[in-house]
Structure 1
Amino acid sequence: MSRRQMEITPELMLRAYRIGLFPMAESRDARTLYWLDPEMRGVIPLTGFHLPRRLARRVRQAPYRISANEAFAQVIAACAAPRASSADSWINAEIQALFTALHRQGHAHSIEAWQGEVLVGGLYGVSLGGAFFGESMFSHADDASKIALVHLVARLRLGGFTLLDAQFQTAHLAQFGTQEVPRALYKQQLATAVEVPAIFPADPDPEALAREIAALRAEG
């Protein structure tokens, strides 16, 4: 990792993502960002995504309304909020501002899970060509963030994406078939993916989305 030497702009963020770097803060109140370039990268397979049976049943039951890009600011704020399992967050005010700017430019996207009018889960990330860089997720209701992830994968497949970067492998993400990829191999995959002319389908055809989710259940 390296300390910031210059002002980070949305344009610099995109250049960094293109070569495999991503920013983090040491805490919610930190004023300095640093770049990470992990030796091993977590990658969620878009082909071969593992959908656990119990979660597949929950997805089929549709306990939440799922949307995309309806509440980006709310999602990133919820991801930045303190959690019971962690006293702090790596998402500081500057990161929120930078990703919000990327969202306005059409490069950052959110998936939301709603219970009535209440936002109960979601995730956000950055798209660049056919690569999607997942940043963070949150859940205030059972399986809300997991179901949001399933809908993200379905949308990415519909949009022609080839790479879903999860940054790090975790026990939570392992259940979806997440793989650890060495840095050199990841960057080869990334270089190919960013040249793919994919489009993030925030509002896909409902029937096409339903078919893609059904395909994920069948593959899982």
Structure 2
Amino acid sequence: MTWTLARLRPGDRFPPPEQALPNDAPYPGLLAVGGRVDAKTLQAAYAQGVFPWFGADEPPLWWTPDPRMVLVPAELKVRRSLRQSARRHLREARLALRTDSDFRAVMQACAAPRRDTEQTWIVPAIVDAYCTLHTQGLAHSFELWRDDELVAGLYCVSLGGMVFGESMFTRVDDGSKLLLMALCGFCLRHGIGPIDCQQQTAHLANMGARPWPRDAFMRALEQSSQAQGPASWRYDWSQFQRDCAPWL
């Protein structure tokens, strides 16, 4: 069977999501290749349910998988071990929860090689484009700091009433899971969500995310585009304890 893949030039519009490669294709969910990776293109992509994912030696690749992994904030699963870990971190006086204090540092830490691979999709062009989105108020980071050291981080994109989770890292036990709790608590506080998790993984499923058919995700995206996003993304331990109390 032969599949046709859209090839984009800088400034081209994305094709409709239903034109993405089907699940029996070699790269299911791949919609287009090429184009420009900048803040304007990223904003257009997310508004259409499309996200970038490619390696350092590849052209820009744009994806819209079916199904789509989605986390409804109220459906977050916090297991006993994570509750215990969260309480322990809350008692640590040197550990602070912050938002947007060093967005670029969070992205750079997320881009660092992992134990299981030397590859990263968070290439310099991606870092620069998302940092521009951050200056425009469309991308945000949740951070754990121990004194002056960034020890865990998560960054996301926010358009209207939907949040698009991107990547996270941690250098402390359960740090990234704790930040996902914080993001869910923040979303519940402001009545926003769901959180787009993009790809299906066992880790996300264990945290409560589940696959949605693409058409259901696109309906939620269209509905959320009419909503007003939070006026402030400030978040700290006091708000975390109040919003996340049911999970603690």
Please indicate, yes or no, whether the TM-score normalized by the shorter chain is above 0.5: yes
In the alignment, is the contact (CA less than 8 A) between 1:134 and 1:164 conserved in 2? yes
Q: Bigger shift: 202-211 or 131-140? A: 202-211
Match of 1:39 among 63, 66, 72: 66
2:30 paired with 1:3 = no
The 3 A distance-change label for structure 1 pair 114 and 121 is: same
The 3 A distance-change label for structure 1 pair 204 and 91 is: closer
The 3 A distance-change label for structure 1 pair 200 and 153 is: farther
Inter-partner Cα distance in structure 2 for 1:215 and 1:90: 35
In the alignment, is the contact (CA less than 8 A) between 2:36 and 2:60 conserved in 1? no
Q: Which residue of 2 aligns with 1:164?
A: 195
2:61 paired with 1:19 = no
Match of 1:108 among 115, 119, 139: 139
In the alignment, is the contact (CA less than 8 A) between 2:97 and 2:236 conserved in 1? no
In the alignment, is the contact (CA less than 8 A) between 1:52 and 1:175 conserved in 2? no
Inter-partner Cα distance in structure 1 for 2:236 and 2:150: 23
Q: Which residue of 1 aligns with 2:158?
A: 127
CA deviation digits over 1:23-82, x for unaligned, max 9? Answer: 122x2x336211001011111111222111111122122243211001101000011111
Aligned residue for 1:47, secondary structure, equals: helix
Inter-partner Cα distance in structure 1 for 2:78 and 2:231: 21
The 3 A distance-change label for structure 1 pair 170 and 201 is: farther
One-letter amino acid matched to 1:146: K
Larger relative contact order (Cα-Cα within 8 Å, sequence gap ≥ 6): 1
Runs (5+) with no aligned partner, structure 2:
1-29
Give the greater-gyration-radius structure (CA). 2
One-letter amino acid matched to 1:87: E
Runs (5+) with no aligned partner, structure 1:
none
The 3 A distance-change label for structure 1 pair 31 and 100 is: farther
* TM-score (norm. length: structure 2): 0.81
Inter-partner Cα distance in structure 2 for 1:20 and 1:81: 26
Inter-partner Cα distance in structure 2 for 1:211 and 1:157: 11
Inter-partner Cα distance in structure 2 for 1:94 and 1:207: 36
Please report the RMSD computed on the Cα atoms of aligned residues, expressed in angstroms: 1.7
Map of 1:206-217 to 2, 5 A cutoff? 207-217=238-248
